[in-house]
Chains A and B, each alone.
Chain A
């Protein structure tokens, strides 16, 4: 009985870690959708690029003789967030702004093209091989019965949770308490009207892309160093799952993306743990369909009012 409980706790830990990544990436999808109503399919690739930047910075710092995990992760985080935001900003400028205001399908195709471009760009620059990195933070706590099942909570997992939660709080404060955040909210309510009122909506939209990319960068550095193996294709599956999480939570809603990501991560871990890893995707997409049947706008989404 106690063993069962610890197993449950362990799967909850696993789900929470994966869910953190989904949630951070889902924020990028949901913010962009909330403001301009398009799905940025290149977002998964932004995550992948941030992982690479993180790896490169960590490797460079290690070569310079830095061996404190705290400094390594902080350094990687700062550089990755900055550079990845620039990527997010530029992607919007190059691939989406020229086609904005036209048929939505055009932006969608542009996004898919951008995604393929970024994958191949990294592939050519960094080779298509898997790149591996030794674990930075080792060790952890164990709970439970030494003879039966022992749940393990590694320090790295705790680091991931703490940083994820901090990033989410920072984002929420930014959106609800700052002038720029208010402008973001105004844009998502009515882009045309906000523009008429003298707010530079082009800048706000680009800023949204940059913020989304920064959140993906947090996930990219943390998850990249936690799982330790990356290649130019890691962004695809993760991006798809994060997009699902955004829809599950209600696309356009930031708390929805956070909740959707966590839910999806935990659902996947529980399915893999109690049923079979084969049914993981069946269950998570089944969950999505169920939620959408009863709440077509997702868990925390608001019904879209048809603008006349």
Chain B
């Protein structure tokens, strides 16, 4: 009896729903969920904040324009603290929540293990930050990035170092997938360019004291140190470097290029040169967008704000082009066209790398007031 009642109720509900549909065309449909995975806590949280603010704005813009495939878009934030083991947990959460699209992760060491999970589950992943070459070298079909690779940033950074004409160079890294990857690329390129690399060393991230390294830099008469790693360590090294009387030039990659380093290192950060994906906030085509970001209290010149925005926008265009939120179709759509985004035209090759990635890097000179200016060599 109860069963029958339930059935009857069910039929009635469906009938009602159908009736409602025919009455109102824009019945709320299930949202398309996009996960943003990155470090929202921990020592690298400043990067995660850039990533989330870019993605949030993009989703807000999409929803303001009526959503995707007439469905609303919903953002899901997932914190991986830039720890590989946390990243796989996050990836599994994404899969079990049946989210089909991920913007992230940020640190290469997180992206590497997480992308294994996404590839198996057929989740489309676009990282706006990870530069380790390995990420797109494994024949994965669902993995994309909006930035160039370390083997493209490496030669560029090496070129920057060379044009500063140092006599003795030290290359130091933090043993992370990103830091070591970048440092070894820079090291090899410097050597092939004939620059005199005297030291190639690793430090342990998270320690307090790097003054023995400083003494060694002085003893080896090094006048330029390249650092592959993130800003918390370089800030300490720069501070202790000035304390210890080392006056050489610091050069770093995109992992150190944010104003947090000036906050932590103070005047010692003045003159730091860092390579990073070219900043697009000065482009005329982005002027309106940059102003909108500013109204939200977001500085669009922060390294990963516009790449994250562009990643969401490219994804949304691909979903629209595919006409479905089915990931197999979307990943093909991502490879089919050239996307005109806030970070220039993006075209993905078969591996998920952007075409012309070697031209996406630029060097910036940091000043003690926390601003950076483009430097051309």
Interface residues of A in 244-296 (CB under 8 A from B): 268-273, 276-278, 280-281
Known: A130-B232, A227-B236. A277 touches B204 (CB 8 A): yes
Residues A278 and B201 in contact, CB atoms below 8 Å apart: yes
Of B86-94, B112-120, B214-222, B308-316, the stretch lying at the interface with chain A is B214-222
Does B168 interact with chain A (Cβ within 8 Å)? no
Residue in A11, A152, A154 whose Cβ sees the most chain B Cβ within 10 Å: A152
Complex CA gap A227/B239 in Å reads 8
B202 CB contacts on chain A under 8 angstroms = 276-278
From the candidates A18, A223, A273, name the one contacting B216 in the complex (CB within 8 A).
Answer: A273
User: Which residue on A lies nearest to B236, using beta carbons?
Assistant: A229
How far does the Cβ of B63 sit from chain A's closest Cβ, in whole Å?
Answer: 30
Does B159 interact with chain A (Cβ within 8 Å)? no
Residues B216 and A272 in contact, CB atoms below 8 Å apart: yes
From the candidates B45, B218, B265, name the one contacting A129 in the complex (CB within 8 A).
Answer: B45
B260 CB contacts on chain A under 8 angstroms = 129-130
Residues A11 and B232 in contact, CB atoms below 8 Å apart: no
Residue in B42, B211, B260 whose Cβ sees the most chain A Cβ within 10 Å: B211
Does B127 interact with chain A (Cβ within 8 Å)? no
Complex CA gap A10/B213 in Å reads 11
A11 CB contacts on chain B under 8 angstroms = 212, 215
Residues B266 and A135 in contact, CB atoms below 8 Å apart: yes
Does A99 interact with chain B (Cβ within 8 Å)? no
Residues A130 and B204 in contact, CB atoms below 8 Å apart: no
Residues B43 and A128 in contact, CB atoms below 8 Å apart: yes
Interface residues of A in 119-158 (CB under 8 A from B): 123, 127-130, 132, 134-135, 140, 142, 149-150, 152, 154, 156
Residues A233 and B209 in contact, CB atoms below 8 Å apart: no
Complex CA gap A135/B244 in Å reads 13
Interface size class of A (residues with CB under 8 A): 35 or more
A223 CB contacts on chain B under 8 angstroms = 208
Main secondary structure of the interface of A (DSSP, over half): helix
B245 CB contacts on chain A under 8 angstroms = 142, 150, 152
B240 CB contacts on chain A under 8 angstroms = 227
Known: A130-B43, A134-B266, A135-B266. A234 touches B232 (CB 8 A): no
B211 CB contacts on chain A under 8 angstroms = 14, 17-18, 269
Residues B244 and A233 in contact, CB atoms below 8 Å apart: no
A123 CB contacts on chain B under 8 angstroms = 41
A18 CB contacts on chain B under 8 angstroms = 209, 211
Known: A150-B245, A229-B264. A273 touches B212 (CB 8 A): yes
A150 CB contacts on chain B under 8 angstroms = 218, 245
Complex CA gap A273/B217 in Å reads 9
Does B75 interact with chain A (Cβ within 8 Å)? no
Residues A237 and B206 in contact, CB atoms below 8 Å apart: yes
Does A7 interact with chain B (Cβ within 8 Å)? yes
Known: A276-B201, A277-B201. A132 touches B263 (CB 8 A): yes
A130 CB contacts on chain B under 8 angstroms = 43, 232, 235, 260, 264
User: Which residue on A lies nearest to B214, using beta carbons?
Assistant: A14
How far does the Cβ of B259 sit from chain A's closest Cβ, in whole Å?
Answer: 12
Does A114 interact with chain B (Cβ within 8 Å)? no
Does B46 interact with chain A (Cβ within 8 Å)? yes
Residues A7 and B219 in contact, CB atoms below 8 Å apart: yes
Residues B204 and A280 in contact, CB atoms below 8 Å apart: yes
Indicate with 1 or 0, residue by residue over B243-285, a CB within 8 angstroms of chain A CB atoms: 1110000000000000010011110000000000000000000
Known: A152-B243, A277-B201, A278-B202. A14 touches B212 (CB 8 A): yes
Complex CA gap A81/B73 in Å reads 52
From the candidates B203, B204, B208, B263, name the one contacting A234 in the complex (CB within 8 A).
Answer: B208
Known: A227-B239, A273-B216. A128 touches B45 (CB 8 A): yes
15 A-B residue pairs with CB within 8 Å: A7-B218, A17-B209, A18-B209, A128-B41, A129-B46, A132-B265, A135-B243, A152-B245, A268-B212, A269-B211, A276-B201, A276-B202, A277-B203, A280-B212, A281-B204
Measuring CB to CB, which residues of chain A are less than 8 angstroms from any residue of chain B?
3, 7, 10-11, 14-15, 17-18, 21, 123, 127-130, 132, 134-135, 140, 142, 149-150, 152, 154, 156, 223, 227-229, 231, 233-234, 236-238, 268-273, 276-278, 280-281
* List of 4 A-B pairs having minimum Cβ-Cβ separation, nearest first: A272-B212, A132-B264, A152-B245, A14-B211
